[in-house]
Structure 1
């Protein structure tokens, strides 16, 4: 484990780090340490693709290399789409937006954290969970300033230049958290609305053992909203899901696991105690 303070902090690395997986012909998932970024677009159309999320701090070179391998040289995405602005999802966003000179889209409620206006609430190290939760005070929560590249997602749920996909507001883990969904084949990019690994367990993070869980506990501040977001996504009956943490999941494992999480969210996802749990029971 390497710990460097500030925006250079890099948490524990999983066995999947550096591994990419094509989950659809036009959906490629790349694991960077313990978080996933997605490349959306057909490699045969190298000027018509999108990057979802921007990985850990100091990961720009790795993302650029993977993009070049998949889409060729001098093939920037049309835009970067953010599920939310936590440090492990925006680590390279400023460098990438400047390098490619492309817009960065996020939900209106995430903009304060991406314009240098407001810091995120501090992570909750007191929350019920394993070693990763205890280490969470080391995780950066400071706002960044994406600058002129930052744009607000359209209010109607559409995404510019990619009409087959739509964004869905799935708050709870953060106020402006969104997920991305394609109706045609029910593909879901869920961010941290739910994840496919028990993120607060160091062993499971290392090994990437698959199991559907709620959002990472140490950063989730609104458990009521998080519950409703999971129910919203389960109602879509996704056929495949790429989450912010954990391996992509599909088929019966996904449908049964997501249904179980939606029906028993409080017992599976909500911690027994923690700073942000009290509001749920008040």
Structure 2
């Protein structure tokens, strides 16, 4: 479903990493009811990158909840829906444009721009890790103590690992991430192995 929910117990609040595609909000509501978290406020939304399938529901969730939004600074044009795609990545741009026309898209305010090494205000202990390739600003969020990495679409990045997904999946296919923390972290991914089912939940 390309988003995750984090509950911060001492704040009695929820935070989202990415917001998914069409149908994501109903899946979120259903999952929160099942977990008995539906009474908790959603205080913030943190984006791993600006692709449409991760940002489609941001505007509606901000209207409903008043949540702040944080996004990678280098993906500003993606978040505004005006990133200039080139070469093979133009196919990714066509797919995004088609999604916007068919499923709708509304621009949204970004309250905080994220850079490499920034602390992410979701409880404590989260640090931004730059994972370029899928987009120029693609970020992961690493919790050192818990040894967790929310990696967005890192596994779609061209050349990042031994497999070679098509360049059309990536906005910046000539770059890829080399991250020393990967062998020491549990990796929570966006699209792989599945995009179906309820969003993953984490209590911290």
Report the TM-score when normalising by structure 1: 0.55
- Alignment partner of 1:145 is 2:107: yes
2:26 maps to 61
- Alignment partner of 1:239 is 2:178: no
2:173 maps to 223
- Alignment partner of 1:93 is 2:43: no
- Alignment partner of 1:121 is 2:67: no
Instruction: Identify unmatched segments of 5+ residues in structure 1.
Output: 1-31, 128-132, 196-210, 249-282
Taking the aligned partners of 1:111 and 1:88, their CA distance within structure 2 comes to 15
2:149, 2:188 within 8 Å by CA — same for their partners in 1? yes
Name the SS for the 1:104 alignment partner: strand
Name the SS for the 2:142 alignment partner: strand
After superposition, the Cα gap between the structure-2 partners of 1:246 and 1:155, relative to the gap in structure 1 and judged at 3 Å, is closer
Instruction: Identify unmatched segments of 5+ residues in structure 2.
Output: 195-204
Higher relative contact order (CA 8 A, sep 6+): 2
Shift of 1:168: 0.8
Taking the aligned partners of 1:155 and 1:212, their CA distance within structure 2 comes to 25
1:163 maps to 124
After superposition, the Cα gap between the structure-2 partners of 1:225 and 1:59, relative to the gap in structure 1 and judged at 3 Å, is same
Say which of 170, 173, 177 aligns to 2:138: 177
Name the SS for the 1:175 alignment partner: coil
- Alignment partner of 1:40 is 2:6: yes
Taking the aligned partners of 1:108 and 1:185, their CA distance within structure 2 comes to 26
Name the SS for the 1:89 alignment partner: helix
- Two-structure CA RMSD over aligned residues (Å): 3.3
Tell which deviates more after alignment, 90-99 or 54-63. Answer: 54-63
Number of residues of Structure 1 aligned to a counterpart in Structure 2? 186
Shift of 1:193: 1.6
Shift of 1:155: 6.3
Taking the aligned partners of 1:144 and 1:76, their CA distance within structure 2 comes to 22
After superposition, the Cα gap between the structure-2 partners of 1:169 and 1:224, relative to the gap in structure 1 and judged at 3 Å, is same
1:105 maps to 70
Shift of 1:125: 7.9
2:16, 2:42 within 8 Å by CA — same for their partners in 1? yes
- Alignment partner of 1:51 is 2:16: yes
2:115, 2:130 within 8 Å by CA — same for their partners in 1? no
Deviations 1:38-58 (A, max 9, x none): 11226x667233111110134
Taking the aligned partners of 2:113 and 2:78, their CA distance within structure 1 comes to 13
1:194 maps to 155
After superposition, the Cα gap between the structure-2 partners of 1:71 and 1:151, relative to the gap in structure 1 and judged at 3 Å, is farther
1:186, 1:236 within 8 Å by CA — same for their partners in 2? no
Taking the aligned partners of 1:71 and 1:137, their CA distance within structure 2 comes to 39
